[in-house]
Structure 1
Amino acid sequence: MVGNTKERILDASAELFRRNGYTGTGLKQIVAAANAPFGSLYHFFPGGKEQLGEEVIRTAGMSYVQLFDVLIAPAPDLVSGIETFFSAAADTLVETGYADACPIATVALEVAGTNESLRRATADVFTAWIAAGTEGFARFGLSHEAARRLTICLVTSLEGAFVLCRSLRDTEALKVAGDAVVAAARAELAASA
C-alpha cells in the first residue's frame, strides 16, 4: 500500500537518524530498513534526503510531545511525573543498548550550521515541545513563566543527559539530570505557593 510504504520509510529513517545521525544514514540503508523499492523514496520525497529528513524531524518530533501526556500529565503530582519521565528515558536507553535517544537533537547537532531547512525543522519541533510542556506544567499550578522555565530546564537536561549516557553507556547522567529538574520543579512550586 502507498501509505504503508511512505510510513515505513519515515519510521525507518527516524530510527536510523536516532541511531546513526542524519549524515551517517544513507538512502540505501533507509530503503533496505523500510523494505521499500529505492524509487519509492523519490516518489514520496522528490526533494531527496533533505525533504525526507525535514519530514522525519517534524513527524517524529511531534510524536515526542505525546510523552508528556503519557508520562507526566497522569501523575498525581508534578515531581512524580518528572521522575517517571526520566526513569522511562533511562529504561529506553538501556533496553536499546544506548542506541535510541532523541533523533531531533542528534540531527540538530549535525546540521544547525550547515542546513537551514533542517535547522528550522528542529527549531520548530523544540518550540512545539516548549509550548506543550509549558501548557502541561501550568496545569500543575505553575505560572506561564515558571512552566516555561521548567520546560526548558527539562528539555536541555534530558538532551544533555542523552549525550553523556550514550557515550558513557551508563544512565547516571539521566538520574542526575532528573534530580536537577525535580529540584527546579520543587523550587518553582514553592515560589508559586
Structure 2
Amino acid sequence: MAAGAELFRRNGYSGTGLKQIVTEANAPFGSLYHFFPGGKEQLGQEVIRTSGLAYIQLFDLFIAPAPDLVSGIEAFFAAGIATLEATDYVEGCPIATVALEVASTNEPLREATADVFTAWIEAGTEKFAKFGLSREAARTLTISVVNSLEGAFVLCRALRDTEAMAVAGATSVDIARRLQDEQL
C-alpha cells in the first residue's frame, strides 16, 4: 500500500498503473488482486484513507506541542516549504492530488477523499480549540489552514517556488490572530 501512496502522490491516481504499483512494491502482480479484489479502485480507497489519516499526525507534530497558536501554524507551513524543497517540488498532498482528479468521475474515491478531509477538519478543530478558540472559530481556522495548505502545494509544485506556501502560512497566521482577538 505504501508503494501505491507514493505513486499516487507523485503521479496522481490516473497517472499510476497497476504494473507500476506492483513493481514499486516488489510484489507479484497476482498479490494485488489477492489483497485488493476490487482492483485499483479498492487499492485507491485504502491508500487514500490510510495515508490521509496518517497526515492527521501533522497536527500532533506541529500544532499540539507549540507554545502558542501562531508558532504552531508557522511550523506547519515551514514544514511544507521544507518538504517541497527537499523533494524538488515532487512531494505534495496525495489526497488533494487524487481529489482533484476524481471528484466528478469516481464516487467511491471522492467519498474516500471527503472522509479524509472531514477527519482533518475534526482533528484540527480539536487541536486549535486547545489554544482557547471556540469550536466554531477553531473549525474556521482549520478549514482555512487546510485550504491554504492544499492550494499552496498546487501552486508551489506548478511554479517550482515556495512563495505561495510562505504567503499561505502568513495568511493563516493573520486569520488565527484575528480569531484569537475576537475571542477576547
TM-score (norm 1): 0.95
Is it true that 1:151 corresponds to 2:142 in the alignment?
Answer: yes
Is it true that 1:96 corresponds to 2:87 in the alignment?
Answer: yes
What does residue 5 of structure 2 align with? 14
Taking the TM superposition and a 5 Å limit, the aligned residue runs for 1:1-193 are: 10-193=1-184
Amino acid at match of 2:49: R
Partner Cα separation in structure 2 for residue 174 and residue 109 of structure 1: 19
Amino acid at match of 1:167: A
Partner Cα separation in structure 2 for residue 47 and residue 17 of structure 1: 17
Partner Cα separation in structure 2 for residue 171 and residue 37 of structure 1: 39
Amino acid at match of 2:162: T
- Offset at 1:97? 1.0
Partner Cα separation in structure 2 for residue 117 and residue 134 of structure 1: 26
**How many matched pairs?**
184
Structure 1 stretches of 4+ with a deviation exceeding 6 A read none
What does residue 3 of structure 1 align with? none
* CA offsets 1:112-168 (integer angstroms, 9 cap, x no match): 000000000000000000000001100000000000000000000000000000000
Report the aligned-residue RMSD: 0.4
Partner Cα separation in structure 1 for residue 89 and residue 2 of structure 2: 19
2:56 partner SS: helix
TM-score (norm 2): 0.99
Partner Cα separation in structure 2 for residue 95 and residue 11 of structure 1: 20
